[in-house]
Structure 1
Amino acid sequence: MQNQTVRPDQADFLAQNQPELAELLTFIDFAAGLTIGFIEVNQERDKMLLVEALREQLADSDIRLEVVNFSQQPDLRHLRAALMTRLQAIATDRKLVVLILGLEAAIGTDGLGAYPLILQDLNFVRNTYRETVPHPLLFVLPDYAITRVSQYAPDFWAWQSGLFRFKSSAQAVEQLRTEAFERPLPYIASDDNQAQIEQLKQLLMELNPTGKTIAPQDVPLCSEIYYKIGSAYLTQKRPQRAKDYLQEGLKLLHQHPNSVLEQDFHYKLGYAYEDLRQFDAAIAAYNTALAIAEAHHHPEPVPGLLHDLGNIALEQRQFNQAKAYYEQSLALKEARNDRYSQASTYHQLGNVAEALREYEQARSHYQQALDIKIEFNDRYSQASTYHQLGRVAEELREYEQARSHYQQALDICNEFNDRYSQARTYHQLGNVAEALREYEQARSHYQQALDICNEFNDRYSQAVTYHQLGNVAEALREYEQARSHYQQALAIKIEFNDRYSQAVTYHQLGIVAQALREYEQARSHYQQALDICIEFNDRYSQAVTYHQLGRVAEELREYEQARSHYQQALDIKIEFNDRYSQAVTYHQLGRVAEELREYEQARSHYQQALDIKIEFNDRYSQARTYHQLGNVAEELREYEQARSHYQQALDIYIEFNDRYEQAGTYHQLGNVAEELREYEQARSHYQQALDIKIEFNDRYSQASTHHQLGMVAQELREYEQARSHYQQALDICIEFNDRYSQASTYFQLGKVAEALDDISAARSFYLQDLQITAEFNNEHGLGISLRNLSHFCREFPDDTFLADVAQCLNTTPADVQQRLANAASS
């Protein structure tokens, strides 16, 4: 080795570290095969100076220094494989020494935290390095990263043959202090903020090196550095890291008490605990800060602390307590004539009013907050208030107004490069698009929100977006995808012990199970949702779950139970003056009355639903109610009225391009045409319905349309065609275990067999119809079956068949003969 001329910019660093450099060069000279050394260098600039110095010193030697930098690979896990890839292309007859830079990106420099994956791997595959990377390896790392290697990869660390600690120059430390500590922290999560965190940690490593005691004169400065790093991590939305640094700084502060800084530590710890949803700990931290402020006569933070205690009460749904805290905070701010900070409290009072469904009051508070922010030209914080004004407009179904407010919020976030805050606004834009049935647009917005949450590792916020992606998938009839998204949301809510918000996800899992005809599973999910709503005294939200429990009972033909649940839902909606959502429950009460053949009652309920939908200009959902009014008119044999209602429903579905829902209405138009003996028209409508159901892979509901196509073919005496359609309908009912619906198809197959003089088959089909009808205690259907059997038994008397009928009805042949006689005369 030859000594080279040292450049002036290296002089300060090298002069301070001459002994270390000499030891390192000797180590390099004698190292052979796999030899591991660690070089501690805390400053990025110093690392580059060291590399330059080593290259100059080794330029004319028989040693080749290969520098490998992994600073751009923070997710690196398998170091050995990465080194083999980098080194395999190198051909040299000199001794190869590998200088490894940038691994701190993957190892981390925090004293606390998860077991780094790269160190897990490093420890596990240590023995394979001798054969695959048989060269001296020099790891250049800052102090705290080296500490983590010794902690988390102790087996690998045991192989190290040298540890070289290079000191930073006083000039470099002072420059770092100026650049990192004295510079204000950004208030928006950004790369600049993260860079400042790394600089502050570098400064902390200089003042508080591993294994050494902090110099007494540096204790106050180190406490403040811990405070600034913790505060910066809060801005970066990393509350666990923030908490770790704040707690360490608070311990250090006890060596050099400072009541103002201690108060600030507890204040920021309250923020960290709140972001971690550890609300009891947050309350304790805020109250400690409040006690210190009062004890030391520091009135400045008191309004803010009261405000933050209000935030926690709001999170815990203690709305009156939250309002009391906010009003206390607001009174203090007004007494000090602190108009600017009143904005944040008006904003939160708006949140309380919104949670209490007092939307006009909420809008008023948000507008007061916005006016103050505009007055003080605080453009950045206007974003959050525009966002909330959007929430209010959304709740009031003013969707275009909501979209406008959200877009204003998003524009400001983009202007200030506040990427994190963009997530919640993309989420709400997704809500608006979903409400307007723009499902692909909604999915796109939700995905943008989710990507940002993932980017910031904000796992809790991911839950609400997974939930909404489930809503979109559900609306698009992608039920398994919907279930998957809801399960992801639920798992996160359980992980964060957010019991209250689990209710809405259990509710949606119930809707998916219901759509998949898993009725008991649906009922179970709805009951879980209802139990949580009752536990949290959320009476309003109970309404929607009672409504869905009614839907399940209705599907299971438990009509009185369904009516009871719907009435419970309706009572709550009336109590909360939620007129709009009463419509859907009146509609379902109409369905129950219709099933119970209470047609005038059904018509009345449907009309109430329709009136509300027209009042709120909800044109799309009017279609469903027009459709049901058509059903009632059809049952009352008012066929032209029925056709008119169905056509109104169909026009709306076509207007909204809802092709799937058109199928049900085409089917009913087919019914009307069939009743009016317009058989070719009926067949055309049924075929249109069937084509759509096949297009949407709605196999279950194809059964009813195949059945009706069979009826048309039967009327036209196309008996083989009729039998084919009935058999297809029956196969589907059996596939979906819909035993109840099988009865009517067995009945019609019997009629076809009878028309074809296949009396044996007719008897078999009629018996199957009768058995199912009796099993479900369907009195109306039983009357139809008995009247038919009365005629059939007269035409084709058979004592064995009569005995089979008696067995189905759990009675005697004599009683059957009497019942058939009565049916014939009814």
Structure 2
Amino acid sequence: MSGYQPVHLTDWQPLSQHTGALIRLLNIVEKENRFRFVVAIFSDTAYRNQMIARLEKLVSENQCLDIEAEHDFFEVLNQLYHLPSNTALVHLLGASAWLQDSSRATDLLHGLNYQREQVAANCPFVIVLWLYDSQVRDLAQNAPDMWAWRAAVLDFSLPLEPEAILSQREIVKEKIVSIQADSHERQRRLADIEAYLSKQPKRYASDAALLREMSRIYMVFGDITQAEKSARIAYDISHEYDDKQGCAMAVGFLADVFMIRGDLDEALRMRTEEELPIYERLGDARSLVVTKGKIADILQLRSDLDEALRIRTEEELPVYEQLGDVRSLAVTKGKIADILQLRGELDEALRILTEDQLPVYERLSDVREVAVTQGKIADILQLRGELDEALRIRTEEELPVYERLGEVNSIAVTKGQIADILQLRGNLDEALRMRREEELPVYERLGEVRSIAITKSKIADILQLRGNLDEALRMRREEELPVYERLGDVRLIAVAKGKIADILQLRGDLDEALRIRLEDQLPVYEQLGEVRSIAIARSKIADILQLRGDLEEALRMRTEEELPIFERLGEARSIAVTKGKIANIMQRRGDLNEALRIRLEDQLPVYERLGDMHEIAVTLHSLFDLYWEAQEFQNAYEVISKAFTIVMQLGIADGISMVGLKLGQAMIMVNQLEEAKHVLMQSRDAAAKLGQADRVRAIDTLLDEQNKVASDT
């Protein structure tokens, strides 16, 4: 039956390619308080019903009028004319059945055409006529007057893809849990599936899809053991029925499980040895290239960026070009941009996002993917220190789309990214409020244990910045680390222990911090084969050695163990950062000339080429220290002035606080006393905002000294 059957979906989301059409329909309903005629194309009744249910949540005063059983067009008009006066949107269903009946087709088409003005006068709301694609031509040709009044023709049709739409079985047709569903809905969905499966006298081939869904939900809940169990049962069922594609999909879920556990080697083996060969045998070009993309994801996590990039450019892109799949082409180019971003090639990554990816989604009217891409653009701008523009994109272009689509998860993620920017700008109170009040409660409601732990980690970051080391350490040990241990995620365990080491280092417990780095963190990254993380961990070890005065060993680690990895990875930014740390050691050893050469020749030009304003400011600040130590006060003043201009433009509170203090000192040395007072007050305001009591006292002392000098003269 084509009639509307109510569906009980709390947070179902449409496919991404339909979000543009959905928002256009919402705009018509909300902006046009009068008769508007919209044609909506559908191919799947269950999906159409889901879309209508979704619209019921977004638009008040919805009506569904099913005319399939009617045979009198004037009775249809009578029902339309007697709808409640506050009706905003009417879904006219069953017209497809009329058009399949030659006698009723003429009545419907002629009625719509000749009664156009009467309908418009008596129906001050939006009427959506749902038709199959093949019937739209009949409407245009045989009801040309009504067709001329159409406000839009919206395409909600979809191909029959087993994993993308509902199957015809009741257990799947009634409920589908989206990524936005809360934990209660997911628990209810699990219970529904388990109850259904327990009643079956035997396992059917289609049960594998339900078990894969269970595996996905268990992953969200952090119950990796059950996720693995469900995926393995799904594999067994597909294998029993000789469903090769089902086997491959189940293997893909198992690979996801191993990725979550941090066992990238096993995940890679399963993708390459078990999943990929099935699609090769089936000749399934699309699934084959999608799996290669997931292999590239793993290689990217292992910092094998060259091979990941090769797969993206040589094995993924050509297939999508051959298939004419512009969406997948855009997605793959976005992932290429991700790799370039990791390698520090920010300009090229930004070009791909703005020129190769964003225009495609705009042309497809895929508003969600437009928002996602704009978010990635904001990521790069943030890395380049362009915080104002990054914040504008987050608040004005990205967040409103997710709010309009009702995507609670994406809203929470974006608010977390806004909090990141506020944190960089020194607005710690607002960043902390957003984490606690707008981000964390969403993940708790959704039951996303991993996201809960990560958000608590970011709250601990803010507490650490505010000097509340005891509470930050407690959160790391009691609220963050146990979650990762329960998930069996060895990588996140290592990351959390590294952050504990950061706090211990700040508290002066260098021995325990060093032990954690050497025994709990570095071996994990070595086991996982994450060469980039290995280099970063070794850099942190060298930091501790440097603090303990072991400059020779720290220098050896920088030059022999850290730098070669970043050079092999081709990460220009990381190479420059490491050379800066080598310059620090040279300065500590009294070799000011070599330290100065590194800053001027090996660091500054790299950041200028990358357009990384933040790191340019950091390097200029380091040059100030060198010039100041050499008592070259004019040079010191010139470089710190440039650094201060940058941090003021970027709005980085910590930079304004630190650089402003040093600029004030330099201005005093070059006899710019009044200007020095103004800069020092700006520095003091930023330090006070961040709760940097020691720095506030230092600035106050300097200002008092200048006031005393001024009064004496």
- Structure 2-normalised TM-score? 0.58
TM-superposition CA deviations, 1:127-150 (whole Å, max 9, x none): xxxxxxxxxxxxxxxxxxxx9xx9
Distance 2:456 2:657 in 1: 31
**Equivalent in the alignment of 2:496:** 585
**Equivalent in the alignment of 2:439:** 529
TM-superposition CA deviations, 1:209-253 (whole Å, max 9, x none): 24379xxxxxxxxxxxxxxxxxxxxxxxx99869xx9xxxxxxxx
Task: Work out whether 1:325 is the aligned partner of 2:192.
Answer: yes
TM-superposition CA deviations, 1:141-185 (whole Å, max 9, x none): xxxxxx9xx99xxxxxxxxxxxxxxxxxxxxxxxxxxxxxxxxxx
Distance 1:109 1:574 in 2: 49
TM-superposition CA deviations, 1:569-608 (whole Å, max 9, x none): 3343345443421222333333344445554454455444
SS at match of 2:205: helix
Work out whether residues 307 and 329 of structure 1, in 8 Å CA contact, stay in contact via their aligned partners in 2.
no
Partner amino acid, structure 2, of 1:573 = Y
Shift of 1:110: 8.6
Summarize the alignment of residues 777-788 of structure 1 with structure 2, pairs less than 5 Å apart.
none
**Equivalent in the alignment of 1:448:** 328
Partner amino acid, structure 2, of 1:204 = Q
Work out whether residues 406 and 428 of structure 1, in 8 Å CA contact, stay in contact via their aligned partners in 2.
no
**Equivalent in the alignment of 1:668:** 581
Shift of 1:690: 1.9
Distance 2:299 2:394 in 1: 18
Instruction: Name whichever of 651-660 and 758-767 sits farther off.
Output: 758-767
Work out whether residues 494 and 524 of structure 2, in 8 Å CA contact, stay in contact via their aligned partners in 1.
yes
SS at match of 1:340: coil
Shift of 1:541: 2.0
CA shift in 2, pair 1:803/1:673, >3 Å: same
CA shift in 2, pair 1:768/1:631, >3 Å: farther
CA shift in 2, pair 1:716/1:324, >3 Å: closer
Distance 1:205 1:580 in 2: 62
**Equivalent in the alignment of 1:573:** 484
Shift of 1:654: 2.1
TM-superposition CA deviations, 1:321-376 (whole Å, max 9, x none): 4444334433444x2x4553443344344334434444455345434433443443
Instruction: Name whichever of 571-580 and 538-547 sits farther off.
Output: 571-580
Summarize the alignment of residues 113-192 of structure 1 with structure 2, pairs less than 5 Å apart.
none
Work out whether residues 743 and 768 of structure 1, in 8 Å CA contact, stay in contact via their aligned partners in 2.
no
TM-superposition CA deviations, 1:33-88 (whole Å, max 9, x none): xxxxxxxxxxxxxxxxxxxxxxxxxxxxxxxxxxxxxxxxxx9xxxxxxxxxxxxx
**Equivalent in the alignment of 2:535:** 623
SS at match of 2:105: coil
**Equivalent in the alignment of 1:801:** 709
Distance 1:475 1:497 in 2: 26
CA shift in 2, pair 1:109/1:770, >3 Å: closer
Distance 1:773 1:465 in 2: 36
- Structure 1-normalised TM-score? 0.51
**Equivalent in the alignment of 1:204:** 100
Shift of 1:545: 0.8
Summarize the alignment of residues 332-411 of structure 1 with structure 2, pairs less than 5 Å apart.
332-333=199-200, 335=201, 337-359=202-224, 361-382=226-247, 384-397=249-262, 398=264, 400-401=268-269, 403-404=271-272, 407=276
Task: Work out whether 1:646 is the aligned partner of 2:558.
Answer: yes
SS at match of 2:611: coil
Distance 2:617 2:473 in 1: 27
SS at match of 2:570: coil
CA shift in 2, pair 1:474/1:565, >3 Å: farther
**Residue 592 of structure 2, aligned match among 661, 664, 679:** 679
**Residue 732 of structure 1, aligned match among 643, 646, 659:** 646
Shift of 1:565: 4.9
Partner amino acid, structure 1, of 2:415 = Y
CA shift in 2, pair 1:413/1:510, >3 Å: farther
Distance 2:396 2:242 in 1: 44
CA shift in 2, pair 1:368/1:742, >3 Å: closer
TM-superposition CA deviations, 1:502-543 (whole Å, max 9, x none): 433433444465567775665455342212112334344211
Structure 1 residue ranges without an equivalent (≥5): 1-74, 76-105, 114-146, 152-199, 214-237, 246-270, 277-281, 287-300, 805-826
**Residue 435 of structure 1, aligned match among 294, 297, 301:** 301
Distance 1:410 1:433 in 2: 20
Distance 1:433 1:410 in 2: 20
Distance 2:663 2:277 in 1: 63
Work out whether residues 630 and 642 of structure 1, in 8 Å CA contact, stay in contact via their aligned partners in 2.
yes
CA shift in 2, pair 1:484/1:389, >3 Å: farther
TM-superposition CA deviations, 1:171-202 (whole Å, max 9, x none): xxxxxxxxxxxxxxxxxxxxxxxxxxxxx879
Distance 1:721 1:666 in 2: 22
TM-superposition CA deviations, 1:453-479 (whole Å, max 9, x none): 99999x999748964884587369477
Summarize the alignment of residues 213-232 of structure 1 with structure 2, pairs less than 5 Å apart.
none
CA shift in 2, pair 1:591/1:465, >3 Å: farther
Structure 2 residue ranges without an equivalent (≥5): 1-20, 22-37, 49-72, 78-95, 110-127, 136-159, 321-325, 333-356
CA shift in 2, pair 1:716/1:489, >3 Å: closer
**Residue 622 of structure 2, aligned match among 702, 708, 715:** 708
Distance 1:721 1:780 in 2: 27
Distance 1:632 1:556 in 2: 22
Summarize the alignment of residues 218-367 of structure 1 with structure 2, pairs less than 5 Å apart.
304-306=169-171, 311-312=176-177, 317-318=183-184, 319-333=186-200, 335=201, 337-359=202-224, 361-367=226-232
Shift of 1:494: 3.6
Shift of 1:560: 5.5
Partner amino acid, structure 2, of 1:400 = L
SS at match of 2:406: coil
**Equivalent in the alignment of 1:474:** 379
Partner amino acid, structure 1, of 2:573 = Y
Work out whether residues 626 and 649 of structure 1, in 8 Å CA contact, stay in contact via their aligned partners in 2.
yes
CA shift in 2, pair 1:406/1:656, >3 Å: farther
SS at match of 1:209: helix
Work out whether residues 40 and 129 of structure 2, in 8 Å CA contact, stay in contact via their aligned partners in 1.
no
Shift of 1:675: 0.8
Work out whether residues 517 and 537 of structure 2, in 8 Å CA contact, stay in contact via their aligned partners in 1.
yes
Shift of 1:561: 5.8
Distance 1:383 1:358 in 2: 22
Partner amino acid, structure 2, of 1:572 = V
**Residue 448 of structure 2, aligned match among 538, 543, 553:** 538
Task: Work out whether 1:637 is the aligned partner of 2:587.
Answer: no
**Equivalent in the alignment of 1:548:** 458
Q: Percent identity?
A: 14
Distance 1:312 1:782 in 2: 53
**Equivalent in the alignment of 1:689:** 603
Work out whether residues 743 and 773 of structure 1, in 8 Å CA contact, stay in contact via their aligned partners in 2.
yes
Work out whether residues 422 and 449 of structure 1, in 8 Å CA contact, stay in contact via their aligned partners in 2.
no
TM-superposition CA deviations, 1:640-690 (whole Å, max 9, x none): 233234333333322322221233222221111101001122112222222
Distance 2:632 2:390 in 1: 42
CA shift in 2, pair 1:737/1:339, >3 Å: closer
Distance 2:435 2:678 in 1: 38
Work out whether residues 353 and 359 of structure 1, in 8 Å CA contact, stay in contact via their aligned partners in 2.
yes
The number of equivalent residue pairs is 531
Distance 1:660 1:679 in 2: 23
